[in-house]
Amino acid sequence: MSRIIGNVGMLDLTEATEESVKNIERIDNVGMVLYRAETAHLLALLTNAGNIGKTLEIPRGYRFFKGTLRLNAEYFKHKQPENVFTYGTVIIDRDVSLEAFEHSGLHMAVRGEVYVPKHLEGAVTASLLKMDGAEASIQAYQSELRFESGKFRLTNAYLSSLKEPRYLVVNGVLELEKDLDMEQFAARLETLHVNGMAMIHEEQSPYFYDKMKSINGQVKVIPAGFEHVTKTLRLNARTIRRFADRKLYTKHPIVLDADVTREAFSRAIAGIQSSSIVICSEDIEDLVWERCPDVNTEIVSYEQAFVFVEGEEVWSKEQLLALKEPASFIVEGTLILEDDVTEDVLEAKLHSLDLFGKVMIAEKRIKGVLYPYLRSMSGSIIVKGTEEKFAGIGNVGMLSL
């Protein structure tokens, strides 16, 4: 049976056959294709693949290993000579001596990173160069290695738990606690290495970059004095009281209810830096503009009532008619209008439409009804049944055929 597959990070053809390749009807894009000399001819059969970033041949006679391969002194003491091609990370422990490594008979080719103790850096580098290192990145360390994965928040408690300096590797998202003791940070970390994204506060930058050896990803800096808001923030007259002259940094929406007065907003919010939207009443719109200097911030105001659609919501004729007054619809997720929603109902209950996501409608003519109400239009209006349907496998990290 043929298959349609989305984007593939790595396509493994090392054990593939002509039959397994021919079963692929289409692949959108492939980051890298891995193959052996015996399966090289199958590359020519990938005619239905989109862009292929790179192809890489596993050397003849090499055992393939994917993931994290950790080698300690015991491994070198008992292991027989072998050839290993690693796609991922190789860690060589500090207890491995130079003599043990040189006499092990281990031949490595690595597509990824090799963490190696300082006293083995030269020998490992020479070995990889000799065996065609396959784009290995060598990271030499002196202190004990420590790995963290996923979303990792570096706190004072974590630093206090370290009895000696560490070489810290984060695979995922690293976030530095706002009140992190940066003197302790400097003392407890030998080096910092991030594969992913780092989120830091501006005042932490000198300490952070001093320890940062490399980053495969990006660094986001929260401006000095700003607080990081990590989810949609909705404030009313009561909840806004907990803020006092605060500055907010976020990539999520901020929603201000109609009962937030000019005085309350002025006392609570000193600044907003956002790459998302701020929803507010027309009464305080000018104040919100003053506090949002970033041109990337979308400010959406409403006159009386509003409906904010963040996820997916289905609205029927009955629900629309239940609105006491025409409302401003602000759609960041997906708004699905049921088939019984008619032109006269929309004209009676829709005040404006700010579209950042999707609106699903039953008939084409409803598009013509909605357009006069549009204020922001960075989303799309889709007639039900015409949306593109993907009948296959979604994005795949690694696919073996």
What is the pLDDT, as a whole number, of residue 34? 83
The verdict on 160 and 103 lying in the same domain is no
Please check whether residue 179 lies inside any domain of the structure. yes
Amino acid 17 reads T
pLDDT tens, position by position, 285-301 = 999 999 998 888 999 99
Backbone φ and ψ for 333, nearest 5 degrees, come out as -100, -120
The number of domains in the chain is: 5
pLDDT at 279 over 80: yes
The verdict on 366 and 329 lying in the same domain is yes
pLDDT at 392 over 60: no
What is the pLDDT, as a whole number, of residue 55? 82
Please check whether residue 71 lies inside any domain of the structure. yes
Please check whether residue 168 lies inside any domain of the structure. yes
The radius of gyration of the chain's CA atoms, rounded to the nearest angstrom, is 28
Please check whether residue 290 lies inside any domain of the structure. yes
Widest CA span of the chain, in angstroms? Answer: 85
Please check whether residue 350 lies inside any domain of the structure. yes
Q: How many CA atoms lie within 13 A of 315 on its CB side?
A: 24
pLDDT at 25 over 80: no
Boundary (domain end) residue, out of 141, 172, 197: 141
Cα dihedral across residues 276, 279, 285, 290: positive or negative: negative
pLDDT tens, position by position, 220-260 = 999 999 999 989 999 999 999 999 999 999 999 999 999 99
What is the pLDDT, as a whole number, of residue 257? 96
pLDDT tens, position by position, 313-335 = 999 999 999 999 999 999 999 99
Q: Which residues contact 243 (CB under 8 A, 6 or more apart)?
A: 235, 268, 269
The verdict on 334 and 375 lying in the same domain is yes
pLDDT tens, position by position, 194-210 = 989 999 999 999 999 99
Please check whether residue 400 lies inside any domain of the structure. no
Average per-residue pLDDT in the chain? 89
Domain that holds residue 365: 306-383
Band of residue 121 on the pLDDT scale cut at 50, 70, 90: very high
The verdict on 77 and 99 lying in the same domain is yes
Distance CA 3, CA 377 (A): 36
Mean pLDDT score, 183-190: 94
Residue 83 contacts residue 63 (beta carbons within 8 Å): yes
The verdict on 310 and 295 lying in the same domain is no
Band of residue 106 on the pLDDT scale cut at 50, 70, 90: confident
Boundary (domain end) residue, out of 200, 221, 242: 221
Please check whether residue 391 lies inside any domain of the structure. no
**Secondary structure of residue 94 in the 3-state scheme:** coil
The verdict on 112 and 155 lying in the same domain is no
Mean pLDDT score, 74-85: 82
The verdict on 83 and 102 lying in the same domain is yes
Boundary (domain end) residue, out of 114, 141, 168: 141
Band of residue 87 on the pLDDT scale cut at 50, 70, 90: confident
Band of residue 390 on the pLDDT scale cut at 50, 70, 90: low
The verdict on 98 and 133 lying in the same domain is yes
The verdict on 137 and 150 lying in the same domain is no
pLDDT at 171 over 70: yes
Mean pLDDT score, 9-27: 80
Please check whether residue 396 lies inside any domain of the structure. no
Q: How many residues are listed for the chain in this entry?
A: 401
What is the pLDDT, as a whole number, of residue 79? 65
Band of residue 128 on the pLDDT scale cut at 50, 70, 90: confident
